[in-house]
């Protein structure tokens, strides 16, 4: 992994790049050195941390662009498993000890999830989540069947608030039992057990997320990061 260097700059030495919900995205640009990326958020440093030149008056080798993020909106990811912290969001609140919450999206990206209050459908709290598409190149007919099954399954008495148990009958139980109900086990072999599903299906996504979170938090504190390209 690349080593990072950084220094702190006063807020007035930054330029607004974008605003709104996109402001949490990490941007990358090269100003004067093709071997060093400069990473920032919605505000870019006015003075290049490498050559100390004003970036508004000098040309950058590569203009700022948005880095791909492993965190997306659930509504943009139909037919997927979605994961987020039980409390807060990944970028600002997640720690290794944090509890995670898991759900499923239908063909329109609407989330179905289960907790101590029962079933939730269409919660707005899934804007920065890890998403894992279950099967690639799925047909619209299959999506329609998926929607019907998910709707039927979520109405079963097993998912009433009274049945919830933090250890034995929780959000992960809801997801794994739905795989059995929908007969998706053959399509997703890892779905035969919680342990295998986490290891083979979710872990690759969460590892990328942890790296992104660490980078985001360093930038949020210092304003930018200089990333050598090896």
Q: What are the tens digits of pLDDT across the range 53-72?
A: 999 899 999 999 999 999 99
The structure's pTM equals 0.82
Between strands 14-16 and 43-45, the pairing is: antiparallel
Compute the distance between CA of residue 210 and CA of residue 167 in angstroms, rounded to an integer.
Answer: 25
> Is the pLDDT score of 14 beyond 80?
no
Task: Give the pLDDT confidence score for residue 199 in this predicted structure.
Answer: 84
Task: Report which DSSP code applies to 166.
Answer: T
Task: Give the pLDDT confidence score for residue 225 in this predicted structure.
Answer: 95
Task: Give the pLDDT confidence score for residue 185 in this predicted structure.
Answer: 62
Compute the distance between CA of residue 46 and CA of residue 12 in angstroms, rounded to an integer.
Answer: 9
Mean pLDDT of the chain: 86
Lowest mean pLDDT among 93-102, 179-188, 196-205: 179-188
Tens-place pLDDT, residues 67-103: 999 999 999 999 999 999 999 999 999 998 899 999 9
Q: Radius of gyration over alpha carbons of the chain, in Å? A: 21
Nearby residues of 125 by Cβ (< 8 Å), 6 or more positions away: 84
> Phi/psi at 149 (nearest 5 deg)?
-65, -40
Task: Give the pLDDT confidence score for residue 16 in this predicted structure.
Answer: 55
> Is the pLDDT score of 10 beyond 70?
no
Compute the distance between CA of residue 82 and CA of residue 113 in angstroms, rounded to an integer.
Answer: 9
Task: Report which DSSP code applies to 185.
Answer: T
**Helix H or strand E segment including 45:** strand 43-45
Compute the distance between CA of residue 103 and CA of residue 105 in angstroms, rounded to an integer.
Answer: 7
> Is the pLDDT score of 20 beyond 60?
no
Helix (H), strand (E), coil (C) string for 67-133? CCCCEECHHHCCCEEEEEECCCCHHHHCCCCCCEEEEEECCCCCEEEEECCEEEECCCCCCCEEEEE
Task: Give the pLDDT confidence score for residue 111 in this predicted structure.
Answer: 98
Between strands 225-228 and 36-40, the pairing is: antiparallel
Q: Report the percent of the chain where pLDDT is more than 70.
A: 88
Sorting pLDDT into bands at 50, 70 and 90, what band is 8?
A: very low
Tens-place pLDDT, residues 119-146: 999 999 999 999 988 877 777 788 888 9
> Phi/psi at 112 (nearest 5 deg)?
-110, 125
- For the ranges 44-48, 155-159, 177-181, 191-195, the one whose mean pLDDT is highest: 155-159
Sorting pLDDT into bands at 50, 70 and 90, what band is 196?
A: confident
> Is the pLDDT score of 3 beyond 60?
no
Task: Report which DSSP code applies to 27.
Answer: E
> Phi/psi at 181 (nearest 5 deg)?
-60, -40
Query: Taking the CB of residue 109, how many other CB atoms lie within 10 A of it?
Result: 19
Buried b (16+ CB within 10 A) or exposed e, 113-135: bbbeeebbeeeeebebbbbbebe
3-state DSSP helix/strand/coil % of the chain, to nearest 5: 35, 25, 40
């Amino acid at each position: 992994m690349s080593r990072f260097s950084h220094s702190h700059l006063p807020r007035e030495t930054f330029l607004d790049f974008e605003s709104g919900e996109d402001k949490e995205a990490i941007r990358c640009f090269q100003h004067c050195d093709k071997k060093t990326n400069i990473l920032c958020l919605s505000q870019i440093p006015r003075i290049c941390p490498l050559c100390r030149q004003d970036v508004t008056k000098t040309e950058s080798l590569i203009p700022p662009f948005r880095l791909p993020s492993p965190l997306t909106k659930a509504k943009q990811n139909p037919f997927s498993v979605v994961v987020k912290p039980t409390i807060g969001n990944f970028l600002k609140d997640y720690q290794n000890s944090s509890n995670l919450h898991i759900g499923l999206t239908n063909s329109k990206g609407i989330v179905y999830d289960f907790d101590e209050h029962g079933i939730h459908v269409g919660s707005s709290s899934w804007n920065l989540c890890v998403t894992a598409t279950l099967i690639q190149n799925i047909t619209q007919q299959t999506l329609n069947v998926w929607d019907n099954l998910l709707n039927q399954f979520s109405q079963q008495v097993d998912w009433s608030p009274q049945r919830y148990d933090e250890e034995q009958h929780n959000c992960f139980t809801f997801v794994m039992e739905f795989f059995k109900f929908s007969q998706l086990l053959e399509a997703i072999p890892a779905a035969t057990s919680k342990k295998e599903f986490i290891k083979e299906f979710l872990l690759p996504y969460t590892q990328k997320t942890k790296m992104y979170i660490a980078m985001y938090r360093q930038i949020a504190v210092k304003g930018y990061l200089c990333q050598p390209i090896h």
